Chain A
């Protein structure tokens, strides 16, 4: 089973890299862009075939390493 983890900065946490992306997109002439926020995408290939168990395992991985919950949120999507 595969797990796709998105790690994003919490609302209100300054994201200077997202701001730089936003400014550059504006300078390229893209209109109607309100905000860009940058995050991380991590793909995990797991032995586990039970979705609930896989989710619990990945949740533990996020808490212990993949995200710093002081500043980041995470979402887990399972496939297969």
Chain B
């Protein structure tokens, strides 16, 4: 699996993502600056967490209009896989690749803690390393993780099985406890909590590792 990580000004989980991906792929993962315009040859494009452009205007709004995102959209449209975590999830929603939007946490507080998540389905390349219904723990660290979509969109998201993860104990007011969603084709996933932060026992656990191992298993050339 050939993977890359997009880097925006003020991305700050980009190196964690690279380390997590490299541990699973066993090969180097490229870092792609947001002004670059070529993503050909990659199986997986990761959009990492952080505070791109200082969260100005809306979280992810500026990054979603940067040159590389046109290529990320092209990559997704030709069936390439995209993983967006935290700010990456916000950017994918702002770019229109994923339905809905991430709003300010309902209690207005920055949340920085481990959260329990239910894996909704395991028939995707992102979650085949888990069991459907399995409860896992990922670290969450966000101020704007309150998932919102209008009633019609939410009905479609639920009806088409696009929910990837749900919070066991909703920390931020997200509609239907949604922590992560897929696009319709299932090749794009965005989620607020951080799988890349739990891939080594020395850092507290391995709950994130099956996502990256599963991607490698599914997307290995």
What residues make up the interface of A, taking CB atoms closer than 8 Å to B? 13-14, 16-17, 20, 40, 64-66, 68, 70-71
Contact = CB atoms under 8 A, between A and B. Distances in A.
Interface of B: 57-58, 61, 65, 94, 100-101, 103-108, 146, 148-150, 153, 173
B106 A14 contact: yes
A4 to B, nearest CB: 16
Contact of A17 (B94, B104, B150, B173): B104
30 contacts: A13-B103, A13-B148, A14-B106, A14-B146, A14-B148, A14-B173, A16-B104, A16-B106, A16-B107, A16-B108, A16-B173, A17-B108, A20-B108, A40-B57, A64-B65, A65-B57, A65-B61, A66-B57, A68-B58, A68-B61, A68-B94, A68-B101, A70-B100, A70-B101, A70-B148, A70-B150, A70-B153, A71-B101, A71-B103, A71-B148
A14 B57 contact: no
B107 to A, nearest CB: 7
Contacts of B106: 14, 16
B155 to A, nearest CB: 15
Most-contacted residue by chain A among B58, B94, B153 (CB, 10 A):
B58
A72 B85 CA distance: 24
Contacts of B173: 14, 16
Contacts of A66: 57
